[in-house]
Amino acid sequence: MTYKEIKTVRNKFDIIGRIYGVLVFMAGTGAIIPVIRQQSGNGYNNITTDSVMQNVWYVLYILTIIFVIYKWKKFVKIIFSNKLIWFIFGFATLSAIWSVSTGITLRRCTALFFTQIIGVYLYSEYKLEGVMDLLRWTSGISIILCFIFSIFLPVYGVHHDGVFDGVWRGIYLHKNTLGLNMAIFTSLWMITLLDSIKNKNKSILSFIFLILALTLLIKSQSKTSLCVFIIILSSIPICLVIRKNLSLALGIFFSFITFVGIFVYNGTSIINELIISMGKDVTLSGRTNIWMLVTEAIKAKPLLGYGYGAFWQGDIGPSEFISSLLDMPLDQAHNGYLNITLELGVVGLVIFLLSLLQNIFNSMRLQLYAKGYLVIFPLTFMMFLLIFNMSESIILSQNSTSWIIYSTLSTYLSYESLQNKAEVNDENRIQLNSC
């Protein structure tokens, strides 16, 4: 083959690779197929495995293997840059030994393995800016389709379940999923707008999609996602302050945490009034009842848990008593920290918290020497994950865009940290040699 032919093949492969990336993110958000399957009377839910989505992911796994083999040198170089995400995966796999349902644990660990592999591969191939570009394409397509489904195809895009009648859900199964994805996409477009302020066309496009994503976030009526977005919004100035004065930024951050702690400790009645003013009951739409029952279940297996992905089986298995008492099938604890403790015990929770704290520390330190504003995204996403998991469960979620992004950013932050340390060591070595 001539050089020109080789270049043409590589360009085509790159285009296919980017399409693959967008498809992975679309599938990971739970877009289109689940809601169509449910409305078509196929009984789609998050507890039982849907054959169509399962086949979609099988195809994506095969494509992942092909891409990783094709670009194996880049991939191998960075795969273990962040050891903690692979340590927690290893622990999840090990939990099959004591799992209440070994088969379910092993199947879901396989899916988790590919979820993390996808995240690492995307960073190895496209770096942070390229992955964010894939997310922008995913976001743009999703936003447009959400408006089309909600306005022109309301049988799919609007709730008609007797509970959230008239509330938008777009191309997703539930309004909270719409809120979750729009919270991520809104912060993504906000940071893109900040980074492209000198590029008029890109700024206008970013502003348009920012407004559209924010509109969908509001239309979802997901109070959790809206609160998370406001907190993410407040974290962006902290990133900007870090670049000027790290000590001041840390002071502001810990003062804010202290204030929130005092407020929560002393202001129960005020919190209740705020919750009621947001249109919620003080049980947070029944979540506190779930949390109490989950806490009782945790007490039975506090150290190692019930096994990864093995607890929530609806009306059968260990979750039966919760489903029967609440008279509803559940697939999560509606609190990520309780959910991981339920599945992997206190040991699993500690490993995850160490991983999250490492990422927050690395993302804050990154602000000191990185150029541009795209590097703000890792910190805002870690803040999002930290807060969103207080009322929903997306920690260690297999076949999920949120965990793909977490794997990508964990690898990126650790790799950048290692590179920065290497550069500092080289500079010190040069200085010593010159003395």
Distance of alpha carbon 223 from alpha carbon 418, whole angstroms: 39
Say how far apart CA 324 and CA 314 lie, in whole Å. 9
Does 434 fall in a domain?
no
pLDDT of residue 424: 46
Instruction: Specify the pLDDT at position 272.
Output: 46
> Which pLDDT score is estimated for 314?
80
**pLDDT at 24 exceeding the cut of 60:** yes
Position 100 scores a pLDDT of: 95
**Does residue 324 or residue 68 have the better pLDDT?**
68
pLDDT at 255 over 70: no
pLDDT at 249: 61
Tokens of 298: 């945790």
pLDDT at 259: 58
Which ranges constitute the DSSP H helices of 196-222? 200-219
Residue 273 placed within a domain: yes
Reply yes or no on whether the pLDDT at 247 is more than 70. no
Q: What pLDDT was estimated at residue 8? A: 65
Over range 231-245, report the average pLDDT: 76
Average pLDDT over residues 322-328: 83
Contacts of 151 (CB under 8 A, 6+ apart): 157
pLDDT above 80 for 86: yes
Q: What was the pLDDT predicted at 268?
A: 40
Number of helices (H) and strands (E) in the chain: give both, helices first.
17, 0
pLDDT at 389: 92
| pLDDT tops 70 at residue 395 | yes
Q: What is the pTM of this model?
A: 0.90
- Is there a domain that residue 433 lies in? no
Q: Is residue 357, in this structure, part of any structural domain at all?
A: yes
Q: What is the spatial distance between Cα 343 and Cα 311, in angstroms, rounded to a whole number?
A: 7
Residue 414 pLDDT:
95
Please name which of 87, 165, 173 lies closest in space to residue 410, comparing C-alpha atoms. 87
The rounded distance, in Å, linking the Cα atoms of 44 and 414 is 38
Q: How confident is the model at residue 316 (pLDDT cuts 50, 70, 90)?
A: confident
Residue 58 lies in a domain: yes
> Please, which pLDDT band fits residue 274 given cuts at 50, 70 and 90?
very low
Residue 429 lies in a domain: no
Phi, psi for residue 158 in degrees, rounded to 5: -130, 140
pLDDT tens figures, 179-228 = 999 999 999 999 999 998 888 899 999 999 999 999 999 999 988 888 88
What is the Cα–Cα distance from 193 to 123, expressed in whole angstroms? 22
Determine how many CB atoms are found less than 10 A away from the CB of residue 315.
13
Band of the pLDDT at 306, cuts 50, 70, 90? very high
CA gap 62, 241 in Å, rounded: 44
pLDDT in tens, 174-186: 999 999 999 999 9
Cα–Cα–Cα angle for 197, 200, 203, rounded to 5 degrees:
55
> Whole domain around residue 200: which residue ranges?
3-424
In DSSP terms, which residues pair with 168 in a beta bridge? 158
Q: 261 — phi, psi (to 5°)?
A: -65, -45
The pLDDT of residue 32 is 94
Contacts of 96 (CB under 8 A, 6+ apart): 102, 105, 106, 109, 307, 308
Which helix (H) or strand (E) segment is 44 a member of?
Answer: none
429, two tokens: 């070595």
Q: Which range among 76-80, 249-253, 311-315 has the greatest average pLDDT? A: 76-80
**Residues whose CB is less than 8 angstroms from the CB of residue 119 and which lie 6 or more positions away in sequence, other chains included:** 403, 404, 405, 406, 407, 408, 410, 411
Of residues 348 and 320, which shows the higher confidence score? 348
Task: Say yes or no to pLDDT of 143 above 50.
Answer: yes
More confident residue, 246 or 373: 373
Number of residues written out for the chain = 435
Which of 3-12, 191-200, 267-276 tops mean pLDDT?
A: 191-200
Region 373-392: mean pLDDT is: 91
In the predicted model, is pLDDT for residue 61 greater than 50?
yes
* Each residue's pLDDT tens digit, 400-427: 999 999 999 999 999 988 786 655 454 4
Structure tokens at 95: 């939990």
**169 found inside a domain:** yes
pLDDT at res. 352 = 97
* Number of domains observed in the structure of the chain: 1
CA-based nearest residue to 294, from 284, 305, 304: 305
- pLDDT value at residue 276: 47
352-367 pLDDT, tens digit each? 999 999 999 899 888 8
Mean pLDDT within 13-32: 94
Of 406, 422, 4, 412, the C-alpha closest to 184 is 406
The encoded tokens of residue 372 equal: 């541009």
200 CB-contact burial (10 Å; exposed 0-12 / middle 13-18 / buried 19+): exposed
The average confidence (pLDDT) of the chain is 86
- 386: in domain: yes
DSSP string, 302-319: TTT-S-TTTS--TTSGGG
